[in-house]
Amino acid sequence: MIQIMTSFLGSLGFAVLFNVRGRYLLEAAFGGMLGWLCYSLLSGRLHNEYLAFLVAAMLVTGYAELMARVEKAPATTFLIAGMIPLVPGKGLYYTMRYAIGAESAGFVSQGTQTLAVAIAIAGGVMAASSIFRVIVSLQMTAKN
């Protein structure tokens, strides 16, 4: 429960930092909380950290795209703050620590894991965004 609340607060802080205004603040922060909740639930059940990150990133992206349509705002308003809890900060920290300490084995190992998480997150964003755009274009075609 503490992790879920701190993911909300962390996303809220970054939304403020990126000048998100008004009711968008809470909506952006909710996206971050939703993403972390999804990751937390899936990482315990799937035993695959990368798949959990991929699905969580897809959920946050879908949420951001949906909120962008509902609120008539750019999707990045909700997406950037929503992705903050998923950023592999610990992995980045240890990768740089090993690099600075000239520990090449640790650097390669930790760097590979961090890169895989980043790729999973980026893949989730691209996949969900593409799926959402296809659905929207099909709806537009059906209306005409």
State the total domains in the chain. Answer: 1
pLDDT value at residue 143: 75
Q: What is the pTM of this model?
A: 0.88
> Taking the CB of residue 130, how many other CB atoms lie within 10 A of it?
11
Residue whose C-alpha is closest to residue 23's, from 72, 56, 65: 72
Quickly tell me which residue has 């809890």 as its tokens. 85
pLDDT at 10 over 90: yes
- Token readout for 50 is 């990368």
Contact at 8 Å (CB) between 107 and 92? no
Residue appearing with tokens 């879920």: 4
- Fill in the DSSP letter of residue 38: H
**pLDDT digit string (tens) for 117-135?**
999 999 999 999 999 989 8
- For residue 101, the SS3 value is coil
pLDDT tens sequence across 54-109: 999 999 999 999 999 999 999 999 999 999 999 998 999 999 999 999 998 999 99
Phi, psi values for residue 46, rounded to 5°: -85, -25
| pLDDT in the model for residue 44 | 83
The residue segments making up the domain with residue 112 are 2-143
Residue 23: strand, helix, or coil:
coil
Helix axes 24-46, 75-83, angle to 10 degrees: 50
- Using a pLDDT cut of 90, give the percent of the chain over it: 71
CA gap 102, 56 in Å, rounded? 34
User: What was the pLDDT predicted at 144?
Assistant: 66
